[in-house]
Amino acid sequence: MSNLILIILMAVGGVAVALQPSINARLAEKTGYLQAATISFAVGTLVLLLISLSTHQGSFRRIAEASWWQLSGGIFGAFFVTMTIIGVPRIGTTAVLALTIVSQLAAGLLMDHYGLLGMRGIPIDFKRGLGVVLLLVGVTLICRR
């Protein structure tokens, strides 16, 4: 896959991430927020299962070799989706996404710095730190009413 295609797909993914909380929040009006999160994950799981089985790439056979923490991503995803469903109607899509982005970048900055989860370490420098601080200022402006 070329970098251009990857960049385009990441941009489409960003739009999808912006749409998902509002779609799920509207579903929650009919079903409840935990039920909406469950439905969202069930539909996503079904789609991914069908794609996984049809592409013949990778295998589920070695799942038993994975450490417990390598299987924990779904817990974090479930928490995130549930929080967006609760947050969007109360503080708005923009505030939820802004808080999400700055939180992800701050966590990523620390994860890179300490080389967490076996990734290579990338030290925090002034530019990277300032970028996150400026984004935090932006989030403050967005969330202020």
> Average pLDDT, stretch 98-105?
93
Q: How confident is the model at residue 94 (pLDDT cuts 50, 70, 90)?
A: very high
Q: Which residue has the higher pLDDT, 117 or 47?
A: 47
> Average pLDDT, stretch 10-36?
94
What is the structure's pLDDT at 129?
93
Res. 97: pLDDT tops 80: yes
Question: Please, is 23 exposed, middle or buried when counting C-beta atoms within 10 Å of its C-beta (0-12, 13-18, 19+)?
Answer: middle
What is the structure's pLDDT at 119?
85
CA distance 21 to 145: 21
Instruction: Identify the domain containing residue 30 by its residue range.
Output: 3-143
What is the structure's pLDDT at 90?
94
> Average pLDDT, stretch 79-95?
94
CA distance 77 to 86: 14
> Average pLDDT, stretch 72-79?
93
Q: How confident is the model at residue 56 (pLDDT cuts 50, 70, 90)?
A: confident
What is the secondary structure of 72-114 as a DSSP string? THHHHHHHHHHHHHHHHHHH-HHHHHHHHHHHHHHHHHHHHHH
Count of structural domains within the chain: 1
Q: What mean pLDDT, rounded, does the chain reach?
A: 93
List, in order, residues 6 or more apart from 3 with CB less than 8 Å away: none
